[in-house]
A and B are shown apart, each in its own frame.
Chain A
Amino acid sequence: GIQVEQSPPDLILQEGANSTLRCNFSDSVNNLQWFHQNPWGQLINLFYIPSGTKQNGRLSATTVATERYSLLYISSSQTTDSGVYFCAVISGGSNYKLTFGKGTLLTVNP
């Protein structure tokens, strides 16, 4: 099956700093999503982005499907951005199975 690798595995920032999280995948994808899992365990859908670029406030994401990677940018980070960021993809002929990367644990210190 498709492999999803995220980097870095851990990231510690000071409030106000910018960061880039990367997601590499081993095959073509029909769907790519970025999620934020907050410290309470909730999975929040940040972006549905199988290709192209999207922005939502301080967050933006770019997927280059032909080169099999996606980037999540966080600007002017806040302590509330802390948590785990997951990249998840759907590959193949059906849309039912999301394959998750192992995530990036982000800690933003005040």
Chain B
Amino acid sequence: NAGVTQTPKFQVLKTGQSMTLQCAQDMNHEYMSWYRQDPGMGLRLIHYSVGAGITDQGEVPNGYNVSRSTTEDFPLRLLSAAPSQTSVYFCASSHPSGHYGYTFGSGTRLTVV
């Protein structure tokens, strides 16, 4: 049972490049989310999904795109990377009831130069 798996762990991008952060969970959780963590700002919600085919915006969605074609996978796409997107990104998943809470992946540290 791997839980929530994020890849890559580290990435350096040039301004304007695009990339996809991968997130997969094997717990059959309906709810999945992406957060970014910045110094002094805590963790903020980027996008979330309540099931396959259903996504919605969180607090800080600009510059990011998501899709949810399967229950297991929830990739986060950066369309045109900007230095302001330098951050640590976490993926999380939960059962819809909220019982037992959210499980987080190990994070992706992204630097945009």
Binding site for B on A (CB under 8 A): 30-31, 33, 35, 41-43, 45, 48, 86, 88, 90, 94-98, 100-103
Cβ contact within 8 Å between B42 and A41: no
Interface set of B (CB-CB < 8 Å, partner A) = 31, 33, 35, 40, 42-45, 48, 50, 58, 88, 90, 92, 94, 96-104, 106-107, 109
Q: Which residues of A sit under 8 angstroms from B94, Cβ to Cβ?
A: 95-96
In the complex, what residue of chain A is closest to B92 when comparing beta carbons?
Answer: A98
Interface pair A33/B107, CB less than 8 Å apart:
no
Other-chain residue from A35, A42, A43, A97 in contact with B45 (beta carbon distance below 8 A): A97
Known: A95-B96, A96-B94, A101-B42. 17 other contacts (CB 8 A): A33-B102, A41-B106, A41-B109, A42-B104, A42-B106, A42-B107, A43-B107, A86-B43, A94-B50, A95-B31, A96-B33, A96-B48, A97-B48, A98-B35, A98-B45, A98-B92, A100-B44
Contacts of B103 in A (CB 8 A): 45
User: Knowing A45-B102, A48-B100 touch, does A96 contact B42 (C-beta < 8 A)?
Assistant: no
Contacts of A95 in B (CB 8 A): 31, 94, 96-98
Q: A41-B107, A43-B104 are in contact. Are A97 and B58 (CB under 8 A)?
A: yes
What CA separation (Å) do A103 and B42 show in the bound complex?
Answer: 8
Cα-based distance from A41 to B108 in the complex (angstroms) = 10
Cβ contact of A90, chosen from B40, B43, B58, B98, cutoff 8 A:
B98
| A30, A42, A100: the one within 8 Å of B43 (CB) | A100
